[in-house]
Amino acid sequence: MTYDRLVCANCAAPVSEGRCRVCRAVRQQMLEEQGQSPLAGLNPAMLIALMVVLLAGLALLAHQTA
């Protein structure tokens, strides 16, 4: 879930706006959690390229075993 869709229970504003200290704390926490994923730093083009390489490797492996 992304913080841009969350509504703060404290001020009833979108968390992404950071109007109150609760919003800012939740926004910071979610940003830190998103950075913990090993693939979080990759852009979509790199993810697609990685998938293509993995699929090509699987196809090659399947071809060798058949």
pLDDT at 2 over 60: no
Residues 18-64 have pLDDT tens digits of 889 988 888 888 878 776 666 666 788 888 999 999 999 999 999 88
Q: How far is CA 27 from CA 11, 53, 55, 60, in A?
A: 14, 35, 36, 44
Cα separation, 13 vs 41, in Å, equals 29
25: tokens are 């704390």
Q: How far is CA 39 from CA 25, 42, 43, 62, 65, in A?
A: 24, 6, 9, 26, 30
